[in-house]
Structure 1
């Protein structure tokens, strides 16, 4: 799959033989967000409209992702890797020893894809991206809406659909990424054949909720 350049700096991936071309535009730059530039070899798909569980709609929402390996002709060998809270779409940065031919994330067998979660500063829609993806607008900042694990998975599923992926061989993730793994299972075994949740849970204890809230409030206290 290759990307065709356009005058606006975005790209539109061209079709693989026998499959329609993806519809979402792509870019590899995000001028308003210096953190996105820290992640090598990632693409950013622009999702025209995505409605969160809260009812808030994000428009022209960026979704950062990276891929390794080759998608099979049947589009059924995708391996989705879900990063932890502070991670990015660069699997080699945090699970590098597991990535490569003959390793756990075997790129000679699987199309390994990792997608950046909403709210992360590393490329997907977040407080450090422009409102509605419009360069003329300010960044979301503290007005960025609350998102959920289900929002992340539904957001990421749009990209898999856009890539023409018919079935996911495995979804793997740890900590917050493991929570995404559990949510992916709701699509059923006909779509997700295997899940590997690591060091995670389906719900927080009161202790965990209190720690998370304390951390959030410390961030909210910063007006910038």
Structure 2
């Protein structure tokens, strides 16, 4: 066997072990994904439902908008950095990055803001709004991440405007995540199958491709 192919097989077997490992739930706030064995799949499913009408149902519901925005931020980075999702088509990451730009523009999230910090802030705002604690929600939307932050950003959450890219990206992510979860790529046979997507002879096609 050629050394290059052997190296690919070793990587594939390592990835297969990752697939059998528990999902990195520590990076996924419980408020964003709950109800199933894999919280990341829950996040994808729930985000697709939230954006199904292009954001219209999120208007006048800042708690729901904060949660949906946090889910987009989380999906964009988590599906790229978690090896379990490496076989997802590159188009999923591309569309999610577009959705993140759209949501950040709608809510005044700073372009260079750290995604994990944004996820935590939006999740805190969502939880505070869900219990009708406006002051805590405003405090979570700090100016270091949000422009201008506080009450003004809270107003943006109530009136985000149309979010068509959010619908496109989350719908595609749900379709591809569901497809991946039901194929044999989740097992050893998939990891060793050149047609499964693990042994991709064309680099740069997986979810890890492209900027964060």
Q: In which range does the TM-score fall when normalised by the shorter chain?
A: under 0.3
- Between Structure 1 and Structure 2, which shows a larger proportion of strand residues? 1
User: Which structure's CA Rg is the greater one?
Assistant: 2
- Between Structure 1 and Structure 2, which shows a larger proportion of helix residues? 2
TM-score by length of 1: 0.26
Higher relative contact order (CA 8 A, sep 6+): 2
